[in-house]
Amino acid sequence: MIRIQTEDFDVGAEIKNLVSGKGNIGGVCSFIGLVRDFSGNEPNGENITSLTLEHYPGMTEKQLEKIETQARQRWDLIETLIIHRVGQLQPSEQIVLVATAAAHRDAAFESAKFIMDFLKTEAPFWKKELGNKGAKWVAAKQSDSAKKETWENE
């Protein structure tokens, strides 16, 4: 399941809902991405006060569904969940939740990692940081593309 929303999410409730009524689930792996809080700790003395997440409605869902489908083709999964927030977020707030449920733990771990690696490079979200030194668009990491390519070459 895929959800794009401005509101926060309750990890415990989401996972409980994901596994409820499906007795063959042996394990759930989840990843929660948070807004890092650098208050006063940025190397350049910058203080980030908020983060704005922009996205491309329609394409976001399309890309996340494609990633979910690929994960389900690659591993034996019982349930998958991707929740991604958009709009303005404060330091320490939750940004993303990916959860995968499977009979066996390896499938759960690997697929959650796979979904995060592809989400980071394929899903059209952009972060803008607002700080005491002004606003700037976060630059993409080369390491994220490298992680995606590792999966493609497996």
Partner 1 sequence: MKVLYFAWLKEKTSLAEEDLPLPCGVSTVAGLMEYLKNRGGGFSDAFADITMIRVAVNMEHVQVSHPLSDSDEVAFFPPVTGG
Q: Which does 127 bind (CB under 5 to 8 A by kind): a second copy, partner 1, none?
A: partner 1
| Residue 77 vs residues 22, 71, 105, 109, 148: alpha-carbon distances, Å | 12, 8, 10, 11, 20
Q: Which residues pair with 46 in a beta bridge?
A: none
Residues of this chain that bind partner 1 (CB under 8 A): 33, 53-56, 58-59, 62-63, 84, 95-96, 105, 116, 119-128, 137-140
Tokens of 86: 């958009």
Count of residues of this chain found to bind a second copy when the rule CB under 8 A is applied? 35
**Site for a second copy contains 81 (CB under 8 A):** no
**Site for a second copy contains 29 (CB under 8 A):** yes
For residues 106 and 149, which CB has a smaller minimum distance to a second copy in the complex?
106
Task: Write down the least CB distance from residue 89 to a second copy, Å.
Answer: 13
Q: Which does 39 bind (CB under 5 to 8 A by kind): a second copy, partner 1, none?
A: a second copy
Task: Write down the least CB distance from residue 115 to a second copy, Å.
Answer: 11
| Cα–Cα dist 40/68, whole Å | 38
Pick from 5, 6, 39, 132 the residue near a second copy by CB under 8 A.
39
Q: Count Cβ atoms below 10 Å from residue 49 Cβ, excluding itself.
A: 13
- Applying CB under 8 A, the residues found at the interface with a second copy are 10-13, 15-16, 19, 23-34, 36-39, 41, 91-92, 103, 105-106, 108-109, 112-113, 116, 147
